[in-house]
Amino acid sequence: MSVVRHLSTDQGTTRKTLWRLFDGTLVESVLMRYPDRVTMCISSQAGCGMNCPFCATGQAGLDRNLSTAEIVHQIVDGMRALRDGEVPGGPARLSNIVFMGMGEPLANYNRVIGSIRRLTDPEPDGLGLSQRGITVSTVGLVPAIHRFADEGFKCRLAISLHAPDDELRDTLVPVNTRWKVREVLDAGFEYSARSGRRLSIEYALIRDINDQAWRGDRLGRLLKGKPVHVNLIPLNPTPGSKWTASRPEDERAFVEAIAAHGVPVTIRDTRGQEIDGACGQLAATER
Ligand code: SF4
């Protein structure tokens, strides 16, 4: 695979890479350097078949699964760039990997598991990274979550929930018509119990779609007393799309409605908007 281009922003501490694979397929990865850690967001598929209507990657459909090597190479490239001091702030080590780029990782199950093994096996067979630093994000493929729990990893699982009620989630995350909110959360809680890791709940806040305070309250009720953390993500708007980020006052009310149930909630720092930072946007402009 070869680099089509690197795009940097945030004084060079956010670097997005557009890759061309051997057959011409395009995928993206992003490296984000913070004062205390470096995170890479990688792709597990070229495109995505999950068809979430607010997502740039989802609009183009699935091209193909990435191989284990194509997944691992995105990380190796980022580690080299950090080691060689190409990212401002001096040489550094990679601390976190999130499978939150293009694709549904659990829909490319065997290659993703293979890549986690390559990344975390001790050197020289693997890269010696910590399982605890890896987050696998899923829309909620329930049987695959159970399988993932059986692997015995200490990775974190993140569920892209985006709505607490089936009626709305059926439209925002179409796979919900197969596995409902309750089933997805139960599978997530089970993974959490078996891995000893807190479950992450990802929720993209979309103006006037899923950002009503009553939905925040409903989410808080579902998660109350569970080992979870809610990450709210201000939507990175896709050009030409009606979906956009929430108003600040609605965002605040939503946070308060969740926190009222004692559920930990934070708003994710969004990076890279000016470099088409949301997954799929850069590849979409290249087509
Ligand atoms: S939001 Fe995630 S699962 Fe949904 S279409 Fe986009 S990449 Fe796929």
Task: Give me the phi and psi of 245, to 5 degrees please.
Answer: -70, 155
Q: How far away, in angstroms, is 125 Cα from ligand 1 center?
A: 32
* Catalytic residue from among 28, 70, 202, 251: 28
* Alpha carbons 232 and 234: distance in angstroms, whole number: 7
Q: Does the CB atom of residue 58 touch ligand 1 within 6 A?
A: yes
The per-residue pLDDT string of the chain (287 residues; one tens digit each, 9 = 90 and over) reads 999 999 998 888 999 999 999 999 999 999 999 999 999 999 999 999 999 988 888 888 999 999 999 999 999 999 999 999 999 999 999 999 999 999 999 999 999 999 999 999 999 999 999 999 999 999 999 999 999 999 999 999 999 999 999 999 999 999 999 999 999 999 999 999 999 999 999 999 999 999 999 999 999 999 999 999 999 998 877 767 788 899 999 999 999 999 999 999 999 877 666 656 555 555 666 65
DSSP secondary structure letter of residue 53: T
Helix 213-223 and helix 181-195, axial crossing angle in degrees, nearest 10: 40
User: Ligand 1, closest atom to CA 56?
Assistant: 6
pLDDT at 243: 85
**Token pair in block for residue 283:** 């590849």
Cross-strand pairs, 135: 98, 156
pLDDT at 277: 55
pLDDT at 274: 62
Distance of CA 163 to CAs 59, 149, 203, 233, 254, Å? 20, 24, 7, 13, 12
User: Ligand 1, closest atom to CA 139?
Assistant: 3
The CATH architecture of the domain made up of 2-286 is Alpha-Beta Barrel (3.20)
Neighbours of 96 (CB within 10 A): 18
pLDDT at 286: 60
Q: Where are the domains of the chain?
A: 2-286
**Catalytic residue list contains 279:** yes
Q: Is 182 helix (H, G, I), strand (E, B) or coil?
A: helix
Contacts with 17 (C-beta within 8 Å, 6 or more apart), sequence order: 3, 5, 6, 7, 28, 29, 30, 31, 74, 77, 78
Q: Is 8 helix (H, G, I), strand (E, B) or coil?
A: strand
**Catalytic residue list contains 55:** no
